[in-house]
Every structure is written in structure tokens, then in C-alpha cells.
Amino acid sequence: MDERTLAFINLHAVLGGLSKLCELDGECQKLIEGKDIAIGITVKGGPEATIRFSGGACTVTPGVDKCDIKLPFSSCKKFNGLIDGTVTPIPSKGFTKIGFLLHEFTALTDKLTAYLRPAEGALDDPEFFRVSTTVMFHLILDAIAQIGNEDKVGRASASYIVNGDIRMGIEGGPEGFIHARDHVLTAVHTPCEHPTSYMIFASMRDARDLFDGKVNGVVCVGTGKVRMGGMISMVDNVNRILDRVSMYLA
């Protein structure tokens, strides 16, 4: 596992999950209600992006030029330590707004952790299950793009993906797609109008079982729990990248 790739996943996929979380969870919506503040994260030798809370929504954008609070990290390993709870960040900008970082932002990331690593029995609640699985779906979509662009093995798989869009979704649930252009992958969190290929889970439960490693992807295809079509070589290489997602997110 590559620390730099993990840093890209942690920023764009894991913390990026706050965007969907604030859309789906009522408590999180209340935490950011009336807020207009941006947290910039810059990692030496790694990713940088700004997480903005404004208008009752959360968005993640490239760069840190227009942030209110800036959190610099001297290495990818240090930033990854923030995510696993072993490193405490020290802002280089925005000390007067550190209250948001210590309270609302920490509450949001704690809530995100609860959805991504649910306590025993939590998934028995239908609404918790829906939100948790939806957030995880979008996180995985972002992780596929980051691994395809940054991880050595992932880039090898991405090099075989032709230009086009791979639609990914769950019947009755969330949708998105991976846009491939010159072997660079981009996760898009809206329905795909003209897919080149597709991979669709039959249900939220089937998707969740695969996300949690309870079932084998090949078996799911054989039993109809996952439908694939279009240019199958694209799906096949995305699946190769997907196999590495669980390693990085374990």
C-alpha cells in the first residue's frame, strides 16, 4: 500500500464523503446550517483541496487559495495520521475560526466514521443502512478514481481503459460514473446519460455485502446480483481497481 495514494483517497474519497453525508443526514445538516467556512488541506508531496461549508451544503474543490482555515501536513504519512487519529493538525491560518474545526468539523467526521465503520447492530436500522451504504458507494467511486490515477497497480489497470464513461449504480439507490479520458479517471456523482459500459448492483443489500467483503464479486455476477454490459473490458479493469479499494480502506 502506497502512503501517497492513501493520502489522495483520504482527502478526496474519505473526507470527500462529508459532502454526501451533509446532504443525507439531518443532524449533519443542522451542524452546518448558516455556516460559511472553508478548510484547506495541503499535503507536501501529495494532494490539496478545500472543504467548504456554505448554503447548507459541503463541497470539495481543488486548491487551497480561498480557504479560511489552512491545515498543512509535512508528509502524506502525517496526513494519513489525521484520518486514523494519531496526528493532531496545527493550522497555519484561521486561528480565530478554530472553534468550527474543534466542534462542528470534529462532530461531522465522527458521524462519518460511525457510518463507515458502523457499530454492531447499527445497520439493522433501515434509515441508517440507507445513508451508510449510499455514503460508502460514493466514497468507493472516488477511491476507484484515486487508485486508478495514483497507485502503481491501479494505473496499470487504468492504462487499459479506453475513453468513455463507466456507469455504476445500485437499483433503487445511488448512481454515478467513472469518466475515463487518456487513462485518467474522474469520479462523477450524478447519473450517466450515455455510458460506454455499466455495472449495476441488484439491490442496496447486495451492494453492501460486496462492500463489506461478505460476498465475492465474481459470484455476484454469476448469480445476477451484479449486472454488467457495454464494453466489458472497461468494467473488468475497473473491477481490478475495485479489488484494491478494500486494501486501502481496511
- 9-29 confidence digits (pLDDT tens): 999 999 999 999 999 999 999
Give CATH superfamily name and number for 3-116: SCP2 sterol-binding domain (3.30.1050.10)
Evaluate if residue 217 carries a pLDDT over 70: no
**Confidence at residue 213, expressed as pLDDT on a 0 to 100 scale:** 78
Backbone angles phi, psi at 160, to 5 degrees: -100, 0
pLDDT of 107 reads: 95
Question: How far apart, in whole angstroms, are the C-alpha atoms of residue 176 and residue 170?
Answer: 9
Is 245 within 8 Å of 147 (Cβ atoms)? yes
Q: Check if 3-116 and 124-249 are the same fold.
A: yes
In terms of Cα–Cα distance, which of 7, 6, 104 is closest to 48?
A: 7
Domain regions of the chain by residue span: 3-116, 124-249
The pLDDT of residue 128: 96
Average pLDDT over residues 94-109: 91
The predicted pLDDT at position 246 comes to 84
Strand order of the β-sheet with 164-170 is 184-188, 175-181, 164-170, 197-201, 226-230
Which CATH number among 3.10.20.600, 3.20.20.140, 3.20.20.80, 3.30.1050.10 corresponds to the domain 124-249? 3.30.1050.10
Q: Answer yes or no: is pLDDT of 224 > 80.
A: no
The predicted model scores a pTM of: 0.93
Going by pLDDT thresholds of 50, 70 and 90, the confidence category of residue 79 is very high
Mean pLDDT of the residues in the chain: 92
**Residue 132 in this model has a pLDDT that exceeds 70:** yes
Supply the pLDDT for residue 111: 95
Q: Sorting pLDDT into bands at 50, 70 and 90, what band is 250?
A: confident
Asked whether the predicted pLDDT for residue 230 surpasses 90, the reply is yes
pLDDT of residue 219: 67
DSSP reduced 3-state for 47? coil
Cα 112–178–58 angle (5° rounding)? 35
- When pLDDT is averaged across residues 153-177 and rounded to a whole number, the result is 95
